[in-house]
Amino acid sequence: MVGLGSTPTPATAPALATATDALPRSLVCADFCSGLGIAGLFGLAASFNTTTDEINNLTSNWSIFMLGPGGICAVFFIKRYGRLPVLFWSQVFGLGFTIGCAVAPNLSVFAAMRILQGTFQTAPQCVGLWTVADLFPFHLQARKINLWTLGFIVSPFISPWLLGYMFAHLGGATTEGYAPWRSVYWVGVGYCTLVVVSRPRPLAPLHRPNQADVTCCIQS
């Protein structure tokens, strides 16, 4: 791991490159999947024979609410087990719950899967600033913090925007046993799988900054 004020070395450069690639994808995952319910809202209501208000109250609202407690719990687990294991396994469980949303047979199961999905997938968002401060040298941190911020600001709008078009193209309502909203969630499963597969490798050992490193950062 690269410490604050350190400069990239041949040993730490691969870790920095991997983290730069993986962090934005992980940050987008939580709110991207939360927005899947917006894209398929009317199809969900038709499929489960209920209203859009009930779908929002039971699934979307609670899923978004649990992003907060889930992030707080992630901090405690990271303190105990380390950052990389928690970030990886939270996304693995999040992938499982996203699959559960896609195959849910009734509204109760779907609501439970949505709530657990939001609880687990928020971990990268809540420790992003902490991770950037540890991984990157001081003169690169502002650039990476911008990517971190961009991830959770843009991600809630991506899935309703793009997948709403797909949902409309598929016909919108449930017909002859086919529910297009499930296809929306399978797209989310594909993205979560990409995040898990592209997880960062174990990072290089912590590098303690010395006076030369601090001077280099100030000059940069």
Q: Could you read off the pLDDT tens digit of each residue along the chain, which spans 220 residues?
A: 444 444 444 444 445 555 555 566 667 777 888 888 888 888 888 888 899 899 988 888 888 888 888 888 888 888 888 777 888 888 899 999 999 999 999 999 999 999 999 899 888 877 777 777 777 788 888 887 887 788 778 888 888 888 877 777 766 555 444 567 888 889 889 988 988 887 654 444 444 444 444 454 454 4
What does the block give as tokens for 74?
Answer: 């992630």
Looking at the domain assignment, is residue 205 inside a domain?
yes
Residues 6+ away with beta carbon under 8 Å from 213: 5, 6, 7, 137
Give residue 51's domain range.
22-219
Q: Which pTM value belongs to this model?
A: 0.75
- What is the CATH classification number for the domain harbouring 109? 1.20.1250.20
Looking at the domain assignment, is residue 10 inside a domain?
no
Looking at the domain assignment, is residue 2 inside a domain?
no
Looking at the domain assignment, is residue 149 inside a domain?
yes
CA dist 110 and 128 (Å) reads: 29
Domain tally, the chain = 1
Looking at the domain assignment, is residue 13 inside a domain?
no
Residue 75 parent element (H or E): helix 67-81
Q: 104: helix, coil or strand?
A: coil
**What is the model's pLDDT at position 2?**
41
